[in-house]
Structure 1
Amino acid sequence: MTSESLDAARTRIGRCVAEVQERGPRLSPLDLHARMDEIRKIASVNGMSALEQLARCSAQMALLPGHRVAVRSCLEHVDEAIACRSPADTTAMLAALALRLR
């Protein structure tokens, strides 16, 4: 994978996150699930396993009562995590977010 394709994936993920943040509480649990699954697919294709697992867990939790707010809250930090140029920093930030969801 080239850095250009990774940058493109980061841009697409950033757009998904921005959409969730912009629409906020107007998103139904199913819409939030769909957005998180879209992020999961992008992460999967691009070898971003930590983000893939976080998005998978978030997508499932979005359907549970009371967890929509937690999922949206964690998304606030996903942009910061994927902007890191160090894979270790990105993974550490995503792991911290996953713990926050638990």
Structure 2
Amino acid sequence: MRESLDDLRHDLQRRLHDIRTRADALSPLDIHARMDAIRGEADRAGLHAIEGLAHLSSQLALLPGCRVATAACLDRAGDALGAQSAAERQAVLAAIAMRLN
């Protein structure tokens, strides 16, 4: 099971990196769809911090200023992938909120 979780984390990192490198070329709807797909995978695997981050960024992608919000979320993706607790999830989301304000 540990190996498959590591494989999933690696896959999510790859997908997040792809979004990060192509963000300027992607439409807000594309970003929303890609982040929502990541959210679903993370939710099924119990990776709550990355699930929360992906949910937030998928919603922010549809709002004005989505490029800034998407960048803020993707900057915290590594922290979210490594988070182990609900408290760490909240810390990741709080860091994004502080950056956006």
Q: State TM-score, norm by structure 1.
A: 0.79
Task: Indicate how the Cα distance of structure 1 residues 41 and 35 shifts in structure 2: closer, same or farther if over 3 A, else same.
Answer: same
In the alignment, structure 2 segments of 5+ residues that lack a partner are none
In the alignment, structure 1 segments of 5+ residues that lack a partner are none
Instruction: Work out which of the residue numbers 73, 84, 87 in structure 2 matches 1:87.
Output: 84
- Runs of 4+ with deviation above 4 angstroms: none
CA contact (8 A) 2:60 2:66 kept: yes
Name the stretch that deviates more: 65-74 or 52-61.
65-74
CA contact (8 A) 1:74 1:97 kept: no
Task: Indicate how the Cα distance of structure 1 residues 15 and 39 shifts in structure 2: closer, same or farther if over 3 A, else same.
Answer: same
Q: State TM-score, norm by structure 2.
A: 0.79
- For the aligned residues, what is the CA RMSD? 2.3
